[in-house]
Structures are given as C-alpha cells and as structure tokens.
C-alpha cells in the first residue's frame, strides 16, 4: 500500500512592505534631506545650523537602528553595536557644531559650512556602513557625490539633482515591484 505524496503548496505572496523596503526608503529620504540642507544653507545660514545639528542625530538614529538589526541577525552584542554607533554619531554632532562655530566667527563662508557639514555626514555614514550595514556605505558615497555636485555645479544643480532624484525614485519603485 502506498502512501499519498504530501501536497506541496507555495507560501502566499507577500503583499506588505518588508523591513528592507522601509530601510531603503529611509536611506533615500536621508539623501533628499541632505540636498535640502545644502539649499537651506545657501539661503539661511542660521536656519542651516539648526538643520544640520538635527540631521546628524537623524543619520545617527538610522545608523544605530541598522547596527541593532545587524547585531541581532548575527547574534552579536546589540549593546556593543549601539554604543559604538552612539559614540560615532556623537562625534559627528560635535564636528558639525565646530563647523558652524567656525562659520559664526567668520573663519568659514556660509556656503562652505553647509558643504563641510555634508562632507562630515557623508564620511560618517560611509564609516558607519563599514561597521554595520553596507547600505550606509552607499549612502555615504551618494552624499559625497552630492557635495561634489553642489560645489562644482551649484548654479545648475537643481537641473541635475531633480531628474536624478526622480530616476532614483523610479528605480527604487521598480526594484521593489520586481522583488515582490
């Protein structure tokens, strides 16, 4: 007497948004917020100071969350990963503050202060990615290219940046739909 073969069923298709999609959306939002920060710096240096002082911890929280998730997945110490990222981003906040201290004392031009803050955040994102999530490396590289774009092409950056952001967003949506 033969036993019937068990019925194999495929898991139902995922219709929700995964954590990876949320993480990617957050990283894209950080790039857009950084571009806005440089634009704010050109028009209102005093507002830019507050903006960048808030952006550094915003990047830090994102980086800490990525380190937390990665440590959990790998079975590493979450506390150690979070402590390292907190120290890392506390240093970034201090560096951004020092940049604007130089700007407020007249040692640095307003436009240069915003670009310098973005360079610090780009490098910090890159280095945070080295220690936690590779996507932060990509974020740091994109921010670095953004600095170059703003420094070299400031007059036409919006002609380049807006279509580039649109292409990036379309690519992300296409990628998400292709994976679903």
Tell me how far apart the alpha carbons of residues 166 and 19 are, in angstroms, rounded to a whole number.
23
Residues of the chain with pLDDT under 50: 10-12
- Whether pTM exceeds 0.75: no
Burial call 161-178: b when 16+ CB within 10 Å, e when fewer: beebeeeeeeeeeeeeee
**pLDDT reported for residue 2:** 59
**Residues 56-109: tens digit of each pLDDT:** 888 888 888 888 888 888 888 989 989 999 999 999 999 999 998 998 899 988
């Amino acid at each position: 007497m033969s036993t019937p073969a068990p019925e194999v069923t495929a898991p139902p298709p995922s219709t929700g948004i995964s954590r990876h999609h949320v993480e990617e959306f957050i990283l894209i939002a950080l790039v857009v917020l950084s571009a806005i920060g440089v634009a704010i710096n050109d028009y209102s240096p005093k507002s830019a100071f507050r903006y960048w002082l808030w952006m550094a911890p915003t990047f830090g929280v994102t980086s800490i969350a990525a380190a937390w998730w990665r440590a959990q997945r790998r079975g590493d110490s979450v506390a150690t990963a979070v402590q390292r990222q907190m120290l890392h981003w506390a240093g970034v906040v201090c560096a951004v503050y020092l940049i604007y201290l130089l700007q407020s004392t007249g040692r640095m031009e307003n436009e240069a202060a915003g670009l310098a803050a973005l360079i610090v955040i780009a490098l910090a994102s890159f280095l945070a990615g080295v220690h936690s999530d590779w996507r932060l490396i990509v974020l740091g590289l994109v921010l670095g290219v953004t600095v170059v774009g703003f420094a070299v092409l400031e007059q036409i950056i919006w002609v380049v940046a807006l279509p580039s952001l649109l292409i990036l967003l379309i690519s992300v949506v296409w990628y998400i739909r292709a994976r679903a």
